[in-house]
Each structure stands twice: as structure tokens, then as C-alpha cells.
Structure 1
Amino acid sequence: MAEKISEKIQKKKPKKLINMIFSQKTTIILLLALQLIFIFIIFQSFAVHYAYLHIVFSTVAIVLAIYILNSSENPAYKLAWIVPLVIVPIFTVVLYILLKNQFSTRKVRNLYAKKSANTRPFLKTNKQIMSYLHESEPDFYKLANYVDKSGGYPVCGNTEVTYFPLGEDKYKAMLEELQKAQEFIFMEYFIIDDGEMWREIVKILLEKAKAGVEVRLLYDGMGSQFTLPFRYKKKLTDQGVKCLVFNPFRPMLSTIQNNRDHRKILVIDGNVAFNGGVNIADEYINRKERFGHWKDTAVMLKGDGVWNFTMMFLQMWEVISGDKTEYNMYRPTVKNVVNNGYVIPYGDSPLDDENVGELVYMGMINNAKDYIYISTPYLIPDNEMLTVLGYAAKSGVDVRIITPEIPDKWYVSVITRSFYRDLETLGVKVYEYKGGFNHAKMFLSDDKSAVVGTINLDYRSLYLHFECATYMYKTSCIKDIKADFDDMFENRCHRITHDDINNRSFWSRFMSVILRTIAPLL
């Protein structure tokens, strides 16, 4: 019997290997690698045989470096390009010009800018709320005013917020609310994995679509590239679900491939919305173990604040589809929600000149008087973020950051841990989530302000991805977020010590020196 089982296992191994070699994922990676190798070989061989070309490209590299230095890009991005310009000028010049001058990127940028401008009248500022905040809450007023004017998302009252400390808690409430849907369901997610979690959700979606509920699904082309069956969009469309794929991933070198839809939004009937770090995959609700215990968080909104997420979804839907929507059809209809503090559901786009996600975080840090607690799976702060964290810590604010003990990406972990010494020097306390992967993206300050959403503390989230989050001010769920942080600090995390930092392996130190230089491009 044992011999037969062994034979079956041996037969499966070659089949699994063959499937992996000829998979769509492997094909795309190989095609991208071949493009890079082709560009490198062609232009390097030209330089070897034609010395004057080397001089020309070296001169162009110098001019390009000066141009990059004087651009408005983040200093870390400038360094990430200038270093390879010095080392391999010919290859980098060609790659930079190829990536920075593409019609597809300009087209999407223009479409998104136009759509944001056209929908702005539907996201009106509540002057009564702003007048009250101006008089009684000046710090929060300034932040709310910034998000409204720069991001286009107004502050809302009349909104109830529920906090979920784990993905499985959010999932349970999500299923309950989906079952109640009468008019429409909007879903926008970075990752949808065809596992138990999704199968339970899609069963409800198909039932609702059959019953006449409008169901729209939007997922990212990269995030779900290898987790859904081939031509899955058509399969759902044929069953009554309106489905779109954001920026389908193609094996072509293009800057637009960097701009992913990292948002997680669910809107039901315009009256209920979910937001947070939880994607649609079994590990997020701990039905499948990946990287130990998976810690993630989310919030549920009921009331006026849902409208910001509804418009955020429709903006993205129309940019992709080209459709036009009668927005007022999807407004909230429930008006008897208890006024429970204030919320600002907001989005951040990589296609404008506003780093809303980072500046909201910086605003919270600068306004903190007693403490600022941060949870993030990826900690790759730029110089500006390090500066404000250091200022807060040195001015007497208790600054704490939680990162994962078990990472999902080794290279990100190497870079993250390389910042521990910098943070320790600044007076920031760093903790790691024991025995698992902390995917929660949260800020909490002074028992009155909190953010839960999709925005990590790394370059991709802050500069390259479409993101969203919920800012809460004096909502009753703040106490639940504080209790969750306290529980993590006391029972689920260990604080990184000076000895931990000094005991990093030589390999980790060596790799961090290299990877930190190109961190903005990873």
C-alpha cells in the first residue's frame, strides 16, 4: 500500500513541474525577462563595437541625471534611477525613456483627472460640519479641509462605524450584509482568490443577480492574475454579474503596470460599506495558513459616509468602462443613523500630484500629543516620514510601530528590518507580530483619531497604487481599535531590542544595503 502511494506521489511531481513550467505566470515572467535582456544585450553590444555611441549615451545619462535631480519626484525615486544611470548608463537611459514616455499612461492619467473633476459636484462639502470643526476642533478641521480640497472627499457625520480586529470577523458581517442586499452590490478588490471565501461570496452574488440586484465586480489585473481561472470575467458576466478588470497585466514593459488598484471596497445598497486590509482569499480569514496566523482589520460604515466609497467605486468603474452613471440612483437612503463622531472615507491616486495617503498619516503624527500607534505589513519609510516620526518621538510622543515577524516577501522584510536601527535612534519603538503575518494598515492617536484602510508605509502604497482608507474622529469604535492595539502590544507582539538589531545576519545586512537603494522600484 505504502509503495503504491509513493508511486502516485512520484508521478504527480513531474506533472506538477510541467504545469508550473508552462503556466501563464511563468510565461509572463519569462517574456518580461526576455524584454529586459534583449534591451540590455542590444545596446551594450552597440557600445562595445561603436565607442562613440558609448560617449553619446554617457552624455545623455548625465543630462538625464540632472533632469531627474531637478524633477518634482520623491528624492528616493531620484536616487533609485541615478545609481543605475551611473553603473549601466546605456541600458538605464533606454529603459527610462521607454518607461516614462508612454501613451497608455498619459491616457489613463487624463481620463482619471477628467472623471475626478466631473464627479466633484457630487461630493459636496458639508459647510455646517466644517464650520463647527473650524471653531471647536482646529487640528482635525485642517486635516479634513486638506482631504476635501486635495483628495476630493468631504468629512461626513451621521455615520456609524464598526471595527473588526480580524478578517474572519469582517467576513461574517460581510456575508450577513450581502444577504440583505435589495438594490445593488459594488465590490472592488485587489486580490480575489478562487477559494472557500470567494465561493461563499460568489454564490450570494449570483443569487442576488438572478433576483434582479445590480451586481458590479471590479478586481485588479495583477493582484488576481494567478488566483482566478482563465477568462473568469466572461464566466461571471454570462451569469449576470457586471465585471471589469483593472489594468489587465500584460507581458510588456510599461509604467502603467506599476499602478495597481490596491483598494478593498464593498458597498451594499448605498447604506453599508466595508473597507480595510482584507482581500478575498482564504488566508485573510485564517481558513488557510500562510505565514502563520494572519492578522488583518477592517471597518463597516453605515450612513452618510458610505457615499464617499460609492463615488470612489463609480469613478474607477467609469474610467475603465467609459460608461456614464446616474449617480443619484445610488445615494444612501437610510437617514436615522446616530451621529457618531466624524469620518472621512478617502482615496489616493498615483495619477495626480497629491500624496494624500502619506500626508494624512503625517498630519496624524504631527498632531499627536500623547501617542501614535501604527500597524503596517511593509515598512519602507521615505526621508520625510522618518523625519516626522523622529520629531514626534523626540518631542515626547509615544511612537510605536507593529510589523510582521513572519514576512510574505523576504526582500521587503530585509528592507523593513534595516530601518529598525534608524527608528531606534529616533526614539521610535518597533514591535513584531509574533508567530504570524500582520497585514493590518492602521494608525491610532490619542484615543480620538484613527485610520483603517489599504495604505501601507511603503513606496508602492504611498506613490504607485490606487488606495483608500477610512479616517475616524471621535467615533465610538476608537476604543475598540485602542483595545486591539493594547492586546497586540501586551500579548501578541515582542518589542525589537538593541540586541535584536545587532544580531542581524551578515546576509541580511548585505542585502539591505543593495535593496534599500532600489526600494522605490520594488
Structure 2
Amino acid sequence: MSAKRVLSQKHKGKKGLAAFLFSRFFLFGLMVVLQVLMFVFFAYNASVEKNLNYVIMVLQFVLIIYIANDKSDPTMKLVWIMFIMFVPAIGCMMYLYFMLQPGSLMLKKRLEHINLNSGKYLDPDQNIYNELQILDKQVSSLTKYVYENTGCPVYKNTDVTYLESGEKKYGILLDELKKAKKFIFLEYFIIEQGEVWDSVLEVLCEKIREGVEVRVMYDGLCSLSKLPIGYFKKLRELGIKSKPFAPARPFFTTQQNNRDHRKILVIDGKVAFTGGINLADEYMNIVERFGYWKDTGVMLKGDAVRSFTLLFLQMWNVTEKNIEGYSRYLNITIPTPETADGYVMGYGDDPYGKERVGESVYLHMINTATKYLHIVSPYLVIDNVMMSSLKFAAKRGVDVKIIMPGIPDKEYAYCLARTYYAELIEAGVEIYEFTPGFTHAKMFISDDEKATVGTINLDYRSLFLHFEDGCFIYKNKVINRIEEDYQKMLSASKRVSLMDCRNRPTYYKICGMLLRLLAPLM
């Protein structure tokens, strides 16, 4: 990193409080907090009214019974029940407010309609399922489950290139973009102005002049701190079809929780990228924030690209008045790469679906591992099912290792994650912290046979609240390459002991325990 850039970063930090108080992020947060306070004020006044107080008592009883019998995550149910029991008026009103929001209900119906219509586009190859049934019945069952819930089949005839860093992806991504002939689809959680995005945008503009269709979609929170307000309009002026997903609005709604955390790039329906790497300078270590930024991704060439084309089009059409036909983007001839190997399956996940596909893929890998299970994640905020599965895997002799950041991006998330360490370590799980910096990769590798690389963190937000995607790989030679990189990460990491957990300051442990109460919301 150049000295000029380092000074620039330090200078930004010295702006301090004044810059923060006048930032869009602070003003946005302030408006939301004011709305919450007004909500609490009216709820409190309702609770002191004698007539309304009896109504709230009845409502409290009914909602607790309803929540206890709901099919949602047990930990989330516990948080709501505690909230309603300790502050009945506020808890009841807030629960009803979140559950009955018309925007969320409309989005859910829209997604159901889109997903229902998407099933006709990608047909599974029965020969592949027959092969998997012979090789591994559990993998075969997993691929059928994913197809039934996402419309994404398992494929062969796909080459997978592992991208062990943002720097590696950056160069390859630019080269592949320059080869585009028909269309380019970009869907990223974060796009930030800087060297990386400027370079990508330059290529996109060149492709627009060549007649290539370009679409860019980014999460609406980018406009708070990463991009100017209405940036999508500037992209449209350049000829790029662009829009933010769920634009950030200063209103107290549940939709603010459901972010588009996916990172998908599709070129001509023949090349696709996914993984943890966003289009911003820190992900490519051009600027430094939390030591060395370790991230990973994959590039696909071949049949499995179709799934990522479908996932992009599904999300794009969520906010369109009329759902377009996908055939012209999916019914194309894709040449079989000479180095195609094994089986590859893209998959998506959304907060409104009946199934938690991302968590189910992770649980499959945990529960079927026999030799080793190696995990890297930036966050660790897991439910009881995931915790029990990890512990049982270690107890039955599987070598379970988890790499976490050595330098966190969010101190509170780090403090919360460490509350899970001791229980896992006591069961035989090995926890490591990546000393050079921050690990943003999201990967599971097991038994030299399976791996998944994608956007899904080991926390409630990714597993329950966000739109996510991943790539499941089976019996592909790239898995050895992924495991080799994992071992390099391991050699640069420090193993956490039970003594480390017990020797943490008392105030730190107390903070973690308090944060654990709010874990499903973080």
C-alpha cells in the first residue's frame, strides 16, 4: 500500500466526531432511533391506561402461546417471549408491528410467485442424479432438496477456479469482463467507489459501447456510506441498467434487516463468480482496514453457470412490474471446458422461504463428515442445532477446525463469537484466530470430497435474514486446492485454548453474555 494512501486513510480517521455527526449514516440512524422512541412512548402510555392494560394482558398471553407453537428458530422465539414477558405493551405492539408489515408480506408473495415460475427454466439431468445415487445417496438427496427449493440443479461439465484472495479475483475478473459479448450481470452487497470499482466501471462502459447488455444491482445500504445517493441513476446515464435492492429509507421496518448479501457476477451465461469478495478496495488489500483482508471466491465456467444466471434474474425481477422471460439468457449453448471435473451446484437462500437452504447445506457437510471438517467464517453466532452438530462431529472423531478473524471488523460481533468458543473447544472442536488480519471468507471443506464457497456467514443474519448464495462442489480436484489454502491460513493462525477463554477480562465475558441475549438480532 502506498504511503499516500495510508496518509489518506489516517486523515479520514482524524475527521472524527464532526464528520460522523453529519454523515448520512448517523442521520439515518438518528431518524430510526427517534421513531423507536416514539413507538416506545405510545406503547408505554397504552400500558398505563387501565382499560387497555387488560387488553394487553390478554394479547400477551395469546402471543406467547402463538410464538411457542410457531415454526421459527427456537432462540428467536425465546427472545420474543422474554421481550413480551418483561415489557408486555412494547413487546406485544412491536411483535405485531413486525409481523403485519404489508411491505414484507408483499415481498414474500412476490418471491413465491417468481420462484414458482422459475422452476420451468432449469431441468435436472436424471443421469447425474443416478450417478450420485451410486456414489453417495446423501449427496444425491441434498442436490434434490436444493433443486426443489431453489430451482438450481446439480451439474457436471463445469470447471472451477479457486480464488484464494481478492487480489487474485480482481485481475481475473477484469480479464473475463473484457471478453463479454452479450451480457454482464453484477449483483453485489457492496460496491464502493475506488480503484477497484473505477476499473470495473471503465470496462463496463467500454462493453456498453460495444452493444453488450450490462445490469448492476447493489444492496441499498451502499447509499448510506459507500455510494452517493441515487448512484444508480448515474449508472443509467452511462447506459447501464442499474438499481439498488431495498433502498435504505429512514423508517423503522423489518425490511431493513433483509439485505441482498449475495456476490454474483455472470458473463454471457458462460462464466460466473461468487464468494465473499465485494467490489471495494479493502477486499483486494488496496487499502488496509483490519490488517490483511483474507477472502476467497470461485470462478465457474460451464453448465453450473446457469444457476447463477437464474439467481440473478430472480432477484432482479423482485422489484420489476412485469417478470421477464429468462429463456434468452438460459437457453444458450455452453461449451464444455476441457478441465471440467466432478459435480457443481449453485444455490440461493432467502429470508422468506420455507427452508433455510444455506444452513441445510452446512449441516449436511457437518453431519456427513467422517475424517475432517474445516471451516472459515468471519462471524460465529449459531443456533442450538448448529452447535450440537459441530460438537457431535468432533465427539465422533471428526477433525473439526474453525478459523476466525485475528483482527475483527466489529468488536461487538467478536465479543459475541467468543462466547461460543469454550463450549466448542470442550467438545473437541479446534478454534483458530487468523493473526495477520481479518478473515471474510465463508467456506466449508470436508474429507477431500466436498466444499462450499459462498456468501453465507455462520451467524443469524446470513442464515435467517439475508439473501445469500453459495457453490457446493463434490469430487472436484479444486477441493484439494481449497484445502491447501486452508492449511496456509491455519499456519498463520493462533489456536485458542480453554485457558485463553477463561482468562479473558470479567467485563468482556459479561458483555458477551449480554450480547448473547440479542444474538438472533445481530
- 1:517 aligned to 2:517? yes
Q: 1:45 to 1:336 in 2, by over 3 A?
A: closer
Q: 1:52 to 1:193 in 2, by over 3 A?
A: same
SS, match of residue 110 in structure 2 = helix
Q: Which residue of 2 aligns with 1:25?
A: 25
SS, match of residue 122 in structure 1 = coil
List per-residue Cα deviations over 1:129-161 (Å, max 9, x = no partner): 111111233232121121112332100110000
Q: Which residue of 1 aligns with 2:296?
A: 297
Superposition RMSD on alpha carbons, in Å? 1.7
The letter of the residue matching 1:26 is: F
The letter of the residue matching 1:20 is: F
Q: 1:18 to 1:403 in 2, by over 3 A?
A: closer
The letter of the residue matching 1:73 is: S
Give the length in aligned residue pairs: 510
Q: 1:275 to 1:512 in 2, by over 3 A?
A: same
Q: Which residue of 2 aligns with 1:229?
A: 228
Q: 1:55 offset after TM fit, Å?
A: 4.0
List per-residue Cα deviations over 1:96-151 (Å, max 9, x = no partner): 11111011111111111111110101121111111111123323212112111233
Aligned mates of 1:166, 1:197 — CA distance in 2 = 14
Aligned mates of 1:165, 1:469 — CA distance in 2 = 16
The letter of the residue matching 2:59 is: V
Q: Which residue of 2 aligns with 1:398?
A: 399
- 1:217 aligned to 2:216? yes
Identify which range, 56-65 or 125-134, moves more after superposition: 56-65
Give the 5 Å matches for 1:75-154: 75-154=74-153
Q: 1:255 offset after TM fit, Å?
A: 1.4
Aligned mates of 1:17, 1:379 — CA distance in 2 = 30
SS, match of residue 302 in structure 1 = strand
Aligned mates of 1:223, 1:416 — CA distance in 2 = 26
Contact 2:433–2:493 under 8 Å retained in 1: yes
Q: Which residue of 2 aligns with 1:481?
A: 482
Structure 2 unmatched ranges of 5 or more: 1-10
SS, match of residue 225 in structure 2 = coil
TM-score normalized with structure 1 length: 0.95
Contact 1:193–1:224 under 8 Å retained in 2: no
Contact 2:452–2:470 under 8 Å retained in 1: yes
Q: Which residue of 2 aligns with 1:362?
A: 363
Q: Which residue of 1 aligns with 2:8?
A: none
Aligned mates of 1:260, 1:12 — CA distance in 2 = 27
Q: Which residue of 2 aligns with 1:6?
A: none
Q: 1:46 offset after TM fit, Å?
A: 3.9
Contact 1:151–1:354 under 8 Å retained in 2: no
The letter of the residue matching 1:383 is: N
Identity over aligned pairs, percent:
44
Q: 1:38 to 1:288 in 2, by over 3 A?
A: same
Q: Which residue of 2 aligns with 1:435?
A: 436
Identify which range, 57-66 or 445-454, moves more after superposition: 57-66
Structure 1 unmatched ranges of 5 or more: 1-10
Q: 1:256 offset after TM fit, Å?
A: 1.6
Identify which range, 79-88 or 423-432, moves more after superposition: 79-88
Contact 2:118–2:151 under 8 Å retained in 1: no
SS, match of residue 306 in structure 2 = helix
Aligned mates of 2:27, 2:223 — CA distance in 1 = 16
Q: Which residue of 2 aligns with 1:452?
A: 453
Contact 1:190–1:224 under 8 Å retained in 2: no
The letter of the residue matching 2:106 is: K
Q: 1:393 offset after TM fit, Å?
A: 0.7
Aligned mates of 1:223, 1:405 — CA distance in 2 = 26
Aligned mates of 1:30, 1:422 — CA distance in 2 = 38
Aligned mates of 1:13, 1:399 — CA distance in 2 = 39
SS, match of residue 374 in structure 1 = strand
TM-score normalized with structure 2 length: 0.95
SS, match of residue 120 in structure 2 = helix
List per-residue Cα deviations over 1:341-397 (Å, max 9, x = no partner): 110011011111100000111011111110000000011110000111111111110
Q: 1:507 to 1:14 in 2, by over 3 A?
A: closer
The letter of the residue matching 1:287 is: I
Contact 2:377–2:442 under 8 Å retained in 1: yes
Aligned mates of 1:521, 1:334 — CA distance in 2 = 42
Q: Which residue of 2 aligns with 1:372?
A: 373
Q: 1:367 to 1:496 in 2, by over 3 A?
A: same
